[in-house]
């Protein structure tokens, strides 16, 4: 009968998990595929200037929120932190594009954000708010946005993100205060500090330092190996996921079943342990939803240590692992089993069609690894095993994500243990250094895997051997200052370029000269306005009376005038339009003989989308070509000049 | 007889203070005038690209260290934090220029740092280490370097400063551990957290929030008024200080006498207070150097509260003000007197010829202000007066220094009170916002007052109405690709320019074209090498055999080949030298019609020293002029176009 009851429990547990998982997968696969995964790589890419439509769309926001709730509830080894960053960024984007026309949520005053820079600032603030909310770490949120998310940083942005996270902190604090009475379930628990680690013992010897260095080195290796495996698994999954939404759902179902089997099956491997004598009966075994000691299949007064980790919320499992003064609570074998299971489940779970953060799996694996090392080195070191768990989590985070200051502050705000700061810093530095010698950080790796043209902060060394004109590609399409409508339409149909040089020619000027750069989106607005002239004359002021400045404001991603929306008649095709009013007459330029490395630095530092290459010698057309983000990608450059790397050596 | 003893005490106190003060002033006035003041503005200016010789010289380092020790010991209301930042930067600079030849401290391997960027990175790390050491706040140090000190930031730099401060933290921790037994005086006290504020009460109501907002607003006003007064006092002192070193010493002596009178005289205004009954006899009145309760002139079992603040180290005074559960310890009148005295003394002390940090005076004034407000609002708010003191200090820091994240983390690391983080963030935001509406931050103000050409991160709005060629100044001196030595010598004598354009002319090229830019320092090295030719021929490879790359490495500030060192004979003057090997052939250029605002952004973002302005139309000389840092200064631009500001409105 006992076996029957446990089997019923297993069936109930598994089927509820499976149901929630399939729900999350359906949302994700059919409504917004962009909502799968962590979201941090996507936000990072967006802030680098990659304007992919679906990354921050309202549908992604909706699926991210509910998919994440269902995914976490389904018992997957996933976190809610990455999705919360993405959610914050999506909300910021919604505000930045003035609300959503599709869903009839628009505000007029938000039109002031309709430009690249302010929108980027808003989204950075959104990402910071996400971290601040997820970890209850306002300063950590600012630093995360600075170190990991943003590609460009200004002091004004520092101040804005700080303001955002301060508001988050005050609001969060209010909610926690309101919920302290237990009205909101587990939300009020833990207060502002999620995993309070207050250890009486704050001093450490040089033997402890050695132990910590060892922990950091091995943690770095495990972390980079984690990245390696995540990359492999993602490549495998992408083959499955490409075959259609139904395959995505099936993959999720399979992983959900595996997870349920592990979390319900593995605790049977563990033996029952009698409760510590100093604890009262109502604290061990635990009654209620959360707590250190889970009874599972054990008799009264005993607990199953593996069940205390598996059959708990992820937050509670971390809290158990971090708890101090409980070095005997978990068996060595329990920690080993839990570590291996979480490490593997974390890797195979990332990449399925469910919003899934990486922080929690990495912290869980790291904390169990740290506690394991702590138990093994117990004889050598005086440090508490809870502290070892904290340092282990730090080493894994450093090894996978490769952040330093932000992780340090987030861990500080998570655990409230300021005195361990030097050790946490040391571990992070060591594990990051070790892991950096193997591969890239996990988010950079995912950005690369998705094929997004991410612009690195530094120029590649081989770029010093090339000049700007070497990588200019394709036939250049230029417009005259006053251009025939038909030519413009032809060019817009023919190419997908987003910027075109405008050249003033005789008789307007004595010789052809570069007037500036015109954007596709502005051209479309201008053509839609149909302010054409029969003759080739400058009608600038006339045109500007027709338009207002905000007509040319940057529309929401995927919005704005489209080429198909234009309805130009045959006779209009032969008419002329004056491009001067919409031409940017101060485009950044480089001479064709400029070193490509220096051009790349210019492009990156000024956050450009187009860089004009002008000829060095007179008597030639006034522009040689336009460099865009794609022209600086290593794949493009090395495709053109495969031997340039060797030349450098 | 009692009066006699007190008078003797006064004389002893005053004369020791005066002696130490004069010692500090003599060091400062006669050896290194650059060591006076905080040093943070100078470091900030250096990191902005202002290469003033004396700022980071070894003599400055020496005076900064000892002057700061004597100054703090002399009882001035000055901090050691600013000087420690400057000290860190000086040490970093010494390493960056490969040691000091003058003092026979050189290391060969340090030559790898002999370039602008690595030296700048090193000095940023030095500044971070200074803050990390001064406040025992490693993360705060990183953020200070990021937010206040550095003008350019790269992720590699984040990682390097983090590494530096981690080492600082570990070393500091080691020293504290070693000194815990009391072998090093007061050093070991307080551990890693200087002002531990552990309050049992961590919740706050909306009434408390209102009180905190009020505190922030008034603190912001006081803070900006502090800046205003410091500016006025500095202008007054500069008149006195300019008259000679002896006047500097006299000024220091006067301020020292005033400070001694205040700190010894004012406590007489206060009444004796009986010790709290719950304290044991050996804790009140305090025996020994530091402690909450100073006996002064009071009978046994009583203490003088004003003396407990004045006749203590600054650190202990802050600790007393921050201490919780002691709301009755200080009288209202005591706090008022102390606040007014410290506020005024802080203002008149900054600017005298003594290394003097601003953090401690501002924290002291802010903490007494906060405690005062806390006592006044005691009936309305439940917050502890110690917390009010902390928030008051935050509001003053925000009001004077205008930092946000870094102050927040520094305060957190100083006080170990994570739960008050939302309130600290709120206060900092409010006081900074309020103060920003009145004037600039104190460090920016001092940089401006010193006349250093500090390059702001943003372009001024009126620059949009100008183009690059509008501000190009002076006659342009250009060199030919192969130039006569006499011409170069003449140009070097005639101007103080640091960069000269090199133009290739027929017959080398079909038409004159811009070859690149050559630096004065490289020219001097080249001329010293005397690789001249009789004919006007290119002898590039020949020249490069004569020199090694590190011959052209950037020498230490004030070092390197000087014009006077050159000994060119009459016949050599008629010979030619090939400039191609030392020409930077990829200088950044802008077209003359480029908006000045965009040129300024380019100049600032890429951290340039020279920006070439090229003509738009062909047939003219290939370069119009060179823009340097000075050409972008508002004074220069507005001097040329006084009405451009109005045009913008």
Q: Is the Cβ of B165 closer than 8 Å to some Cβ of chain A? A: yes
Question: What percentage of chain B has pLDDT greater than the value 70?
Answer: 91
pLDDT exceeds 90 at position A198: no
Q: Give the C-alpha separation, B539 to B546, whole Å.
A: 11
Residues of chain A with Cβ-Cβ distance to B458 below 8 Å are 156
Average pLDDT over residues A194-219: 80
**Under an 8 A CB cutoff, do A595 and B586 touch?**
yes
Question: For the ranges A58-62, A338-342, A449-453, B543-547, which has the lowest average pLDDT?
Answer: B543-547
Q: Judge contact between B98 and B56, C-beta under 8 A.
A: no
Mean pLDDT over residues B35-41, rounded?
Answer: 91
Identify from A421, A602, A611, A615 which residue to disrupt to test chain B contact, counting B C-beta atoms within 10 A and taking the largest count. A421
Q: Which of residues 468-507 of A touch B (CB under 8 A)?
A: none
The whole-number pLDDT of residue A327 equals: 73
Region B345-369: what's the mean pLDDT?
93
- State the number of CA atoms in the 13 A half-sphere of A193 facing the CB: 19
Q: What is the pLDDT of residue B192?
A: 66
Please state at what angle helix A116-135 crosses helix A405-415, rounded to 10 degrees: 40
pLDDT in the model for residue B329? 79
Q: What is the pLDDT of residue A415?
A: 85
Among A296-300, A584-588, A596-600, B348-352, the minimum mean pLDDT is found in A296-300
- Please tell me the predicted confidence (pLDDT) of residue B268: 87
CA distances from A640 to A597, A600, A644, B124 (A): 16, 16, 9, 39
Mean pLDDT confidence for B131-150: 91
* Pairwise CB contact (< 8 Å): A425 & B616: no
What DSSP designation does B108 have? G
pTM, rounded to two decimals: 0.90
DSSP designation for A540:
H
- Give the mean pLDDT of B498-523: 88
CB A430 within 8 Å of CB A216: yes
Query: HSE-up of A4 (CA within 13 Å, CB side)?
Result: 1
Q: What integer pLDDT is reported at residue A558 of this predicted model?
A: 63
d(CA A21, CA A40): 21
Please determine, for residue B258, whether its predicted confidence score (pLDDT) is greater than 60: yes
Residue B248 burial by Cβ neighbours in a 10 Å radius (0-12, 13-18, 19+): buried
> Contact at 8 Å (CB) between B435 and B402?
yes
Residue B104 has pLDDT above 70, yes or no: no
pLDDT for B185 beyond 90: no
User: Which residue of chain A comes nearest to B513, CA vs CA?
Assistant: A617
B392 in Cβ contact with B423 (< 8 Å): no
d(CA A460, CA A597): 7
Residues 6+ away with beta carbon under 8 Å from A332: A372, A375, A376
Q: Let me know: does B127 contact B146? Beta carbons within 8 Å.
A: no
Residue owning tokens 């790397």: A645
Q: How far apart are CA B86 and CA B65, in angstroms?
A: 9
B508/chain A closest Cα distance in angstroms: 13
A617 close contact with B: CB closer than 8 A: yes
pLDDT in tens, B335-354: 999 999 999 999 999 989 99
Tell me the shortest Cα–Cα distance from B357 to chain A, in angstroms.
24
Q: Tell me the β-bridge partners of A518.
A: A500
Q: Angle A189-A194-A199 (CA atoms, 0-180°, nearest 5)?
A: 110
Of the two residues A271 and A135, the one the predictor is more confident about is A135
Nearest partner of A305 among A264, A267, A277, A250, judged by Cα? A267
Helix B485-494 to helix B520-529 angle (10° resolution) is: 140
Assess whether pLDDT exceeds 90 at residue A616: no
State the pLDDT at residue B626. 92
Omega before residue A413 within 30° of 0, cis: no
Contacts of A125 in chain B (CB under 8 A): none
What integer is the mean pLDDT of A502-518? 87
For residue B529, pLDDT beyond 70: yes
What is the longest distance spanned by two Cα atoms in chain B? 99
DSSP string covering B151-165: SS--HHHHHHHHHHH
Q: What is the rounded average pLDDT of the residues B154-158?
A: 83
What is the number of residues in chain A?
Answer: 649
Among A285-299, B188-202, B441-455, the least confident range: B188-202
pLDDT of residue A649: 42
In eight-state DSSP terms, residue B484 is E
Q: Is the ipTM of this complex over 0.90?
A: no
Which has more confidence, B137 or A566?
B137
The mean pLDDT value of chain A amounts to: 86
Half-sphere CA count of A628, side-chain side, radius 13 A: 15
Axis-axis angle for helices A206-241, A385-401 (nearest 10): 50
- Residue B298: pLDDT band with limits 50, 70, 90: confident
Give pLDDT tens digits for A40-62: 999 999 999 888 778 888 899 99
**Closest by CA position to A186, among listed A362, A310, A83, A314:** A314
CA distance A56 to A39: 10
Residue B648 has pLDDT above 60, yes or no: no
The three-state secondary structure class of B305 is: helix
Question: Which residue(s) pair with B513 in the sheet?
Answer: B504
Beta-bridged to residue B272, according to DSSP, are B304
Instruction: Report the gap between the CA of B534 and the closest CA in chain A (Å).
Output: 30
Higher local confidence (pLDDT), B531 or A503: A503
Tokens 């506020």, residue?
Answer: B343
Interface contact B421-A138, CB threshold 8 A: yes
Residue A479 β-bridge partners: A502
Q: Which of A179-188, A593-602, B163-172, B316-325 has the lowest mean pLDDT?
A: A179-188
Rounding to the nearest 10 degrees, give the CA dihedral for residues B219, B221, B225, B227: 70
Predicted local confidence at residue A305, as pLDDT: 86
pLDDT, tens digit, 9 for 90 and up, residues A125-180: 999 999 999 998 999 999 999 888 988 888 788 889 999 999 998 888 888 878 77
Preceding amide of B400 cis, omega within 30: no
Picking from B408, B413, B616, the nearest residue to A418 by CB comes out as B413
Taking only the tens place, the pLDDT of each residue in A387-414 is: 899 999 999 999 999 998 899 999 988 8
For B540, the token pair is 């590039």
Contact flag A170-B422 (C-beta cutoff 8 Å): yes
Do A625 and A473 touch, CB atoms closer than 8 A?
yes
Q: A256, A78 in Cβ contact below 8 A?
A: no
Nearest in space to B312 (alpha carbons), one of B330, B300, B325, B328: B330
Looking at residue B571, its pLDDT comes to: 86
Per-residue pLDDT, averaged over B596-607, amounts to 92
589-608 of B, contacting A, C-beta below 8 A: 589-591, 593-595, 598, 601-602, 605-606
What angle in degrees, to the nearest 10, is found between the helix axes of A421-436 and B155-179?
Answer: 140
Distance (Å, whole) CA B258 – CA B568: 59
Residue B649: predicted pLDDT: 42
Stretch A463-469: mean pLDDT = 90
Angstrom distance (rounded) from CA B149 to CA B130: 11
Tell me if B161 sits within 8 A of B114, measured CB to CB. no
Q: Are B39 and B89 in contact (CB under 8 A)?
A: yes
The pLDDT score that the predictor gives to residue B102 is: 64
* pLDDT tens digits, one per residue of A574-593: 888 888 888 998 899 999 99
With bands split at pLDDT 50, 70 and 90, how would you rate the model's confidence at B497? confident
* DSSP 3-state percent helix, strand, coil across chain A (nearest 5): 60, 10, 35
Q: Report the share of chain B in percent with pLDDT over 90.
A: 43
């Amino acid at each position: 009968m006992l076996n029957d009851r446990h089997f019923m429990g297993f069936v109930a547990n598994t089927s509820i998990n499976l149901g929630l998982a399939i729900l999350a997968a359906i949302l994700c696969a059919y409504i917004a595929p962009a909502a799968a995964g962590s979201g941090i790589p996507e936000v990072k890419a967006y802030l680098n200037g990659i304007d992919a439509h679906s990354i921050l769309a309202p549908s992604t926001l909706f699926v991210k929120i509910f998919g994440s709730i269902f995914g976490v509830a389904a018992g997957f080894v996933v976190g809610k932190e990455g999705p919360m960053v993405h959610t914050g960024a999506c909300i910021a984007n919604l505000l930045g594009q003035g609300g959503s026309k599709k869903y009839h949520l628009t505000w007029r005053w938000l039109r002031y954000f309709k430009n690249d820079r302010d929108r980027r600032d808003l989204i950075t603030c959104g990402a910071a708010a996400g971290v601040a909310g997820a970890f209850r770490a306002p300063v950590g949120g600012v630093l995360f946005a600075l170190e990991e998310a943003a590609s460009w940083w200004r002091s004004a942005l520092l101040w804005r993100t700080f303001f955002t996270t301060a508001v988050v902190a005050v609001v969060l604090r209010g909610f926690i205060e309101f919920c302290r009475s237990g009205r909101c379930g587990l939300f009020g628990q833990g207060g502002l500090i999620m995993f309070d680690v207050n250890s009486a013992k704050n001093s450490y010897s040089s033997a402890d330092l050695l132990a910590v260095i060892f922990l950091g080195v091995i943690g770095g290796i495990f972390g980079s190996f984690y990245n390696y495996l995540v990359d492999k698994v993602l490549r495998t999954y992408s083959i499955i996921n490409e075959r259609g939404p139904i395959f995505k759902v099936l993959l999720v179902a399979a992983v959900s079943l595996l997870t349920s089997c592990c979390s319900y099956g593995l605790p049977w491997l563990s033996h029952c342990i009698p409760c510590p004598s100093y604890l009262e009966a109502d604290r061990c075994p635990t009654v209620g939803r959360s707590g250190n000691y889970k009874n599972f299949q054990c008799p009264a007064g005993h607990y199953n240590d593996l069940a205390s980790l598996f059959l708990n919320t992820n937050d509670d499992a971390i809290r158990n692992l971090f708890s101090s003064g409980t070095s005997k609570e978990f068996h060595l074998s329990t920690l080993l089993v839990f570590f291996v299971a979480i490490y593997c489940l974390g890797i195979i779970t990332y990449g399925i069609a469910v919003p899934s953060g990486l922080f929690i799996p990495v912290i869980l694996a790291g904390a169990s690894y740290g506690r394991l090392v702590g138990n093994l080195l117990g004889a050598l070191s005086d440090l508490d095993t809870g502290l070892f768990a904290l340092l282990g989590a730090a080493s894994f985070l450093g090894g996978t994500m490769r952040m330093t200051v932000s992780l340090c502050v987030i861990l500080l705000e998570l655990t409230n243990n300021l005195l361990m700061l030097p050790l946490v810093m040391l571990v992070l530095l060591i594990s990051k250094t070790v892991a950096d010698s193997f591969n890239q950080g996990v988010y950079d790796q995912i950005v690369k895997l998705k094929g997004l043209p991410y612009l690195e902060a530094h120029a590649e060394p081989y770029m010093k051997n090339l000049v700007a004109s070497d990588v200019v590609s394709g036939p250049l399409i230029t417009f005259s200052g006053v251009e025939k409508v038909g030519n413009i339409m032809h060019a817009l149909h023919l190419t997908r370029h987003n910027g075109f040089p405008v050249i003033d020619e005789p008789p307007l000027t004595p010789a052809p000269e570069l007037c500036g750069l015109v954007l596709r989106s502005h051209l479309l607005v201008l053509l839609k306005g149909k302010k054409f002239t029969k003759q080739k004359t400058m009608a600038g002021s006339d045109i500007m009376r027709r338009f207002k400045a905000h007509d040319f404001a940057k529309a929401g991603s995927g919005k704005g005038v489209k080429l198909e929306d234009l309805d130009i008649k045959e006779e209009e095709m032969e008419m002329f339009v004056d491009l001067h009013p919409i031409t940017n007459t101060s485009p950044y330029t480089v001479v064709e003989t400029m070193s490509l490395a220096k051009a790349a630095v210019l492009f990156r530092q000024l956050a450009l989308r187009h860089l004009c290459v002008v000829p060095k010698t007179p008597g030639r057309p006034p522009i040689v070509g336009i460099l865009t983000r794609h022209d600086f990608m290593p794949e493009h450059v090395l495709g053109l000049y495969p031997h340039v790397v060797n030349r450098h050596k």
